[in-house]
């Protein structure tokens, strides 16, 4: 595997799609928004022969909808994830196939990043897929790893930053339901201002965060900034943006987006 030649020729973009972006108010999979995001990725993929990795949430939501339950206990969430992982990948495959793009699923747990052997295996799988022009779609393996359902990966934010470092990604795009990091909670304070650029994530950066409890997702702005700090230290540019804004990914690719950019540490 000629990893260095691949990276030098085709910088890798990671798109992390959060639960709030994939879930409607009725706790159902937001198929229309997923289709829109995949269409935008596909156009950039075809136009510039770009390389993408997707880190996705949503398996528990998909499974819960199919099972007609609200998963509350760990076993219920595990079962919902088992059902939902299949359904979610079917949607990814269906929409990417319309754009003549293949996808492959990778389910990771925390030890896949911390174990040298499993880390190497994950790396080999990812780069083999990329070499074959296949987009890896990565998710936590919630069906067997109860600690990930808790908080270790933080709704895939932490996982996406770990993957960014693993593959030496050029850019990590974290899509959420607000435009980025604000000076205050924009949902409560109308005078809150968007922080568009962060050179270095510091202690002061975290003071701006005013997360509220959300039953649909396990992350929050804290986990996103923490993940941005980790990825930026590994040399990856991080963009936090609103995944419900029209054509948000297209605007990110052409530099006309609204969001928070965390510069890579050089």
Lowest mean pLDDT among 73-77, 130-134, 168-172, 217-221: 217-221
Mean pLDDT value across residues 51-59: 94
Q: What is the pLDDT of residue 103?
A: 97
Can you name the residues that pair with 242 across neighbouring β-strands? 176
Provide the whole-model pTM: 0.91
Residue 147 has pLDDT above 90, yes or no: no
Q: What is the pLDDT of residue 153?
A: 46
Residue 1 has pLDDT above 60, yes or no: no
CATH code of residue 257: 3.40.1160.10
Query: What are 104-125's pLDDT values in tens digits?
Result: 999 988 777 888 899 999 999 9
Mean pLDDT value across residues 173-198: 93
Q: Longest C-alpha distance within the chain, in Å? A: 51
Closest CA to 202 of 188, 218, 181, 186: 181
- Computed over every residue of the chain, the mean pLDDT equals 88
Q: How far is the C-alpha of 103 from the C-alpha of 188, rounded, in Å? A: 40
Residues 6+ apart with CB under 8 A from 206: 222, 225
Q: How far is the C-alpha of 201 from the C-alpha of 232, rounded, in Å? A: 9
Q: What is the pLDDT of residue 173?
A: 98
Q: What is the pLDDT of residue 141?
A: 79
Q: At what angle do helices 31-48 and 74-97 cross, to 10 degrees?
A: 50
CA 245 to chain CA mean position, Å: 16
The residue segments making up the domain with residue 216 are 3-262
Q: Contact, 65 vs 28, CB < 8 A?
A: yes
Residue 152 has pLDDT above 50, yes or no: no
Q: What is the pLDDT of residue 171?
A: 97
Residue 221 has pLDDT above 80, yes or no: yes
Count of structural domains, the chain? 1
Residues 6+ apart with CB under 8 A from 73: none
Q: Hey, which bits of the chain come out as E strands?
A: 12-17, 51-56, 102-108, 134-140, 171-176, 197-198, 237-242, 259-262
* 104 CB neighbour count, 10 Å cutoff: 18
């Amino acid at each position: 595997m000629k990893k260095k030649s691949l990276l030098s020729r085709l910088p890798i973009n990671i798109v992390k799609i959060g639960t709030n972006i994939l879930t409607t108010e009725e706790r159902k999979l937001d198929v229309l928004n997923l289709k829109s995001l995949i269409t935008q990725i596909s156009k950039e993929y075809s136009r510039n022969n770009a390389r993408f990795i997707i880190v996705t949430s949503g398996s528990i939501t998909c499974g819960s909808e199919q099972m007609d339950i609200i998963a509350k206990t760990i076993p219920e969430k595990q079962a919902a994830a088992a059902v939902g992982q299949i359904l979610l990948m079917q949607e990814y495959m269906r929409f990417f196939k319309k754009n003549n793009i293949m996808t492959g699923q990778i389910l990771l747990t925390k030890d896949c990043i911390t174990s040298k052997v499993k880390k190497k295996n994950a790396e080999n799988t990812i780069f083999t897929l990329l070499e074959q022009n296949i987009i890896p779609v990565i998710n936590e393996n919630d069906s067997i790893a109860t600690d990930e359902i808790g908080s270790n990966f933080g709704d895939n934010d932490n996982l996406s930053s770990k993957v960014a470092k693993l593959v030496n990604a050029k850019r990590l795009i974290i899509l959420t339901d607000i435009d980025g990091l604000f000076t205050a909670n924009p949902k409560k304070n109308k005078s809150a201002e968007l922080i568009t650029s962060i050179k270095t994530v510091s202690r002061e950066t975290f003071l701006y965060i005013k997360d509220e409890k959300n039953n649909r997702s396990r992350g929050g702005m804290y986990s996103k900034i923490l993940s941005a700090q980790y990825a930026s230290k590994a040399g990856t540019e991080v963009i936090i943006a609103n995944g419900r804004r029209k054509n948000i990914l297209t605007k990110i690719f052409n530099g006309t987006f609204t969001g928070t950019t965390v510069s890579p540490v050089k």
